[in-house]
Amino acid sequence: MGMKHFYRIMITALGTVALSSVVAFGATGQATGTNVNVRAAADTSTAVLTQINQGTSYEVLGADGNWVKISVNGKEGYVYGEYFQVNSAEGTVTGSGVNIRSGASTSTSVLGSANKGDSFTATALESGFYKINYNGGTGYISQDYFSGTYLKYLSSSSSSSNQVYGVVTAETGLKLRAAASTSSDVITVLPYGTEFDIVSTGSEWLQVKTDAGQSGYVSADYVSVKSGTRTSRSNSSSQGQAVVDYAKQFIGTPYVWGGTDLNNGVDCSGFVYSVYKHFGITLNRSSYTMVNHGVEVAKANLQPGDLVFFNSGSGTSICHVGIYIGGNQYIHSTDGAAYGVTITSLSSDYSARTYVTARRILR
């Protein structure tokens, strides 16, 4: 089972303070679901102090094993790490004259500079740059010159691109037309999950350009409009197969709860996390939050390298993850009968019964 990435945080000896003292503790976060229990200690047998919901921010005081220590209404409590997400973390500049840029790239304009000891609040890691609050707006600073206890637990993306693109949500595909009218000629039909650049938007029609270079119009009712990194890739791409080939090297590695060592022990999300990290892609650490990456893919359209997610009835919507390898099979780390990193058919009783969804991470 996946676990939240807080399992590696050392316990910090910090006292209780008011919720406004964000800098004192260096990080804030929120629940990833509703009615999440906050307990008196890092144990499910201890009393429930209160419950928290997604959307409200709380100060992070530290962690105890798999549990996150937070401040709720001036009191300390513990939330199981699987159900908590870090939204912001404090960091300190480690060099002198470090550039603050307008984007996550050295080719973007310089907004200003910072010196050793200057502190900023970071909200994400994008392509090697921390996104920070700067002069009432947003800036980016290289991770090579910025340090903080909780920074590595922020959400990450492989690119800072703010490209606007669309994803086909119609299961039967979406017609690309020559003009913004249902009576116009159909150029082609875009399959479910196809991504394309959006040229202009309207209330009913979107002007788009496909990766094949075709320009036309599609109905806005069957498109999910997104901003950020394009995640689709062609069927001929070798990236997914490279991920699969690398993952197969670790068949037989034992299952270890919270493990991320591909040679000595991994849990399900630790296995996927570490495999993708080898290719320079940082995913969320738990299966529950890993599903937020990429674009949804229909089961019938799975390609090698896609992530497949399952729910065995643990009380969360997602509790297991693996990597699709082709041939209706996936590779994963399990604590079940097979134990450890193994290959399983999607048609097996467990897989077919618990399958929830899939996500495409690679281009």
Residues 36, 84, single domain; the answer is yes
Residue numbers of the domain that contains 318: 239-360
In a domain, 234, yes or no: no
Active site residue 268: yes
Q: What is the CATH number of the domain that holds 47?
A: 2.30.30.40
* pLDDT for 315: 62
The enclosing H or E element of 189 equals strand 186-190
Inter-CA distances, 14 with 343, 344, 356, Å: 44, 45, 40
Task: Give helix 268-278 / helix 239-248 axis angle, nearest 10°.
Answer: 120
- Rounded to whole angstroms, how far apart are CA atoms 353 and 34? 25
187/277 same-domain check:
no
Residues 83 and 35 in one domain: yes
Same structural domain for residues 273 and 312? yes
**Cβ-contact 173, 222 below 8 angstroms:** no
Is 332 an active-site residue?
A: yes
Q: What is the DSSP pairing of strand 186-190 with strand 174-177?
A: antiparallel
Using CB atoms within 10 Å of the CB of residue 15, give its burial: 0 to 12 exposed, 13 to 18 middle, 19+ buried.
Answer: exposed
Please identify, among 140, 158, 176, the residue that sits at the C-terminal boundary of a domain. 158
Cα separation, 51 vs 56, whole angstroms:
11
Q: How many CA atoms lie within 13 A of 42 on its CB side?
A: 14
Pairwise CA distance, residues 68 & 86, whole Å: 10
CATH of the domain at 336: 3.90.1720.10
pLDDT of residue 15: 29
Residues 30 and 109 in one domain: yes
Answer yes or no: is 308 within a domain.
yes
Last residue of a domain, one of 158, 176, 194: 158
In a domain, 232, yes or no: no
Residue 351 within any structural domain of the chain:
yes
| Same domain assignment for residues 264 and 186 | no
Same domain, 83 and 102: yes
Integer CA distances (angstroms), 106 to 81, 282, 333, in order: 35, 20, 38
pTM of structure: 0.41
How many structural domains is the chain composed of?
3
pLDDT of 3: 39
Sequence length of the chain is: 363
**319 tagged catalytic:** no
Per DSSP bridges, beta strands 84-93 and 146-147 are: antiparallel
CA-CA distance, 308 to 158, in Å (whole number)? 20
* Whether residue 122 is found in the same domain as residue 200: no
Residues 275 and 219 in one domain: no
Give the per-residue pLDDT at 161: 42
What does the block give as tokens for 263? 């040679």
118 domain residue, yes or no:
yes
The catalytic residue among 5, 268, 293, 319 is 268
Residue 117 resides in a domain: yes
Q: Examine the domain organization and report whether 95 and 137 are in the same domain.
A: yes
Q: Are residues 245 and 216 in the same domain?
A: no
Can you tell me whether residue 299 is helix, strand or coil? helix
pLDDT in tens, the chain (363 residues): 443 333 333 222 222 222 222 333 478 888 876 678 899 998 877 888 998 887 788 988 887 766 788 999 889 999 887 678 778 889 999 999 999 998 888 888 889 999 999 999 998 888 889 999 998 888 999 988 999 877 766 766 544 344 567 888 887 788 999 998 999 999 888 877 778 888 877 778 888 888 767 889 999 888 877 755 555 444 435 678 889 989 999 999 999 999 999 999 999 999 999 999 888 788 889 998 898 887 788 888 888 999 999 998 766 689 999 999 988 999 999 998 788 999 999 999 999 999 999 998 875
Q: Which of 180, 207, 227 is the last residue before a domain boundary?
A: 227
- Whether residues 129 and 188 share a domain: the answer is no
Which member of 5, 293, 319, 320 is catalytic? Answer: 320
Q: What sign results for the dihedral spanned by CA atoms 121, 126, 129, 134? A: negative
Residue 233 domain-assigned (yes or no) = no
Identify which of 168, 173, 128, 170 has the alpha carbon closest to the alpha carbon of residue 151: 128
